[in-house]
Amino acid sequence: MSQNASTLPQTVSLQEKFALFTDHWSPKIVGELNGQQVKLAKISGEFVWHAHEHEDELFMVTRGQLKMRFRDGEQLINVGEFIIVPRGVEHLPIAETEEVWMLLFEPASTVNTGTAGGERTVSELERL
Ligand code: NI
């Protein structure tokens, strides 16, 4: 039984996808499954304090060191590590000393600024 190559599930190269953009704090959709999205983002400096009412968020770091500040402390996430921020928990992502590249895994309904809104909100995400 032969199968057309176009019908086969496709391998996704993080390296190739990250090479397609340079802007910061603007997540790109690179995959979708079960109502969840896989996104890639490059960040530099501080974001804004926010929380998500209904969504848990996973952040996996592929370059640099992510600092995730919470109201009662902070965590460092290094390359090859991930952190899950539960819904309702206020968080502030920071790339303090260098640009950070990360993979996000979260429901498609997730807005980057959560319930905080504001000018850093990206409502239309690009698909790569
Ligand atoms: Ni968030």
Per-residue model confidence as pLDDT tens digits over 22-56: 999 999 999 999 999 999 999 999 999 999 999 99
Instruction: Kindly report the CATH number assigned to the domain that includes residue 30.
Output: 2.60.120.10
Over the chain, what is the mean pLDDT? 94
* 106 Cα–ligand 1 center, Å: 10
* pLDDT for res 111: 87
In the predicted model, what is the mean pLDDT of residues 75-89?
98
112 C-alpha vs ligand 1 centroid, how far in Å? 6
Residue 6 lies in a domain: no
How many domains are contained in the chain?
A: 1
Side-chain half-sphere exposure of 23, counting CA atoms within 13 A: 8
How far does the centroid of ligand 1 lie from the alpha carbon of residue 91, in Å? Answer: 6
pLDDT, residue 4, reads 64
- How many whole angstroms from 1 Cα to the centroid of ligand 1? 45
Domain that holds residue 78: 11-111
Please check whether residue 92 lies inside any domain of the structure.
yes
Centroid of ligand 1 to alpha carbon of 57 (angstroms): 6
- Whether residue 123 is contained in a domain is answered as no
Considering the domain boundaries, does residue 19 fall inside one? yes
Measure 55 CA to ligand 1 centroid, in angstroms: 9
* Confidence at residue 5, expressed as pLDDT on a 0 to 100 scale: 63
